[in-house]
Amino acid sequence: MARTVVITGSTSGIGLGIAEGFAAAGDNIVLNGFGKQEEIDAAVERIGALGSGSVIYHPADMTKPDEIEAMIASAADTFGGIDVLVNNAGIQHVSPIEDFPPEKWDRIIAINLTSSFHTIRHTVPLMKKAGSGRIINLVSAHGLVASPFKAAYVSAKHGMMGLTKTVALELAEHRITVNAICPGYVLTPLVEAQIPDTAKARGMTEDEVKSEVLLAAQPTKEFVTVEQIAATALYLASDAAAQVTGTHISIDGGWTAK
């Protein structure tokens, strides 16, 4: 039977890849995120054609608790419940701490951490009623280790690890699992956009940032792919992962082994 999968921030990058993976498996998808209306319409149609499930789009802004609540309600009204919640929306800002704009700090904490508190608190009653559920948090290697100039991102992602473990314990007897995926660098718009700022902050060229900052962190010297992350999300949503909860899966080319 088709599951219903809500994926925040799924108009681009990793979220879009996860949406494609679940759609191809025959699931119903709730897409979310920003973008041009015609591109979103095209994505809804294209993803809908990948499998037998239905795809809807909800424009909830992850900085707005009321809109998050409306998105979860709309998913439940349309499909009768939510089987899998993927908290994926995220943004980045790279700057030394003394120059870090406070409004960027607030926005990163809101989107990368607080939005998941809201999606989870509204989804859990639905999952409890259904007697099962899967919550998958797209965290990062930066949920486990730090890098300079990313104070808000690293703080939010470490917070997401705490949220993952806490909620997993609360839901352990409800057949609802809560886990984190911690990727290393994936070449998505989020990473592409931080290359110029990282170059500026470190006094490097953009090519040096790719080879000496990004891939230097990853012993395999290869970027992680969106498809590898989607496959891991599908595993965490599968029956095989029923006893995997309160933990994380790193997909980081060995980064956090160092």
- Residue ranges in contact with ligand NAD by CB under 6 A: 9-15, 32-35, 61-63, 88-91, 111-112, 138, 140, 183, 185-186, 188-191
Q: Which is nearer to ligand NAD, 12 or 28 (CB)?
A: 12
From the CB of 150, what's the least distance to ligand NAD, in Å? 10
From the CB of 11, what's the least distance to ligand NAD, in Å? 4
From the CB of 8, what's the least distance to ligand NAD, in Å? 6
Q: Which is nearer to ligand NAD, 126 or 233 (CB)?
A: 233
From the CB of 112, what's the least distance to ligand NAD, in Å? 6
Q: Which is nearer to ligand NAD, 192 or 207 (CB)?
A: 192
- Catalytic residue chosen out of the listed positions 57, 153, 185, 235: 153
Q: Does 57 participate in catalysis according to the annotation?
A: no
Write the DSSP string, the chain: ---EEEETT-SSHHHHHHHHHHHHTT-EEEEE----HHHHHHHHHHHHTTSSS-EEEE---TT-HHHHHHHHHHHHHHHSS-SEEEE---------GGG--HHHHHHHHIIIIIHHHHHHHHHHHHHHHHT-EEEEEE--GGGTS--TT-HHHHHHHHHHHHHHHHHHHHHGGGTEEEEEEEE--B-SHHHHHHHHHHHHHHT--HHHIIIIIIHHH-TT-S-B-HHHHHHHHHHHTSGGGTT--S-EEEESTTGGG-
Q: Which is nearer to ligand NAD, 34 or 41 (CB)?
A: 34
- Could you list the active site residues? 153
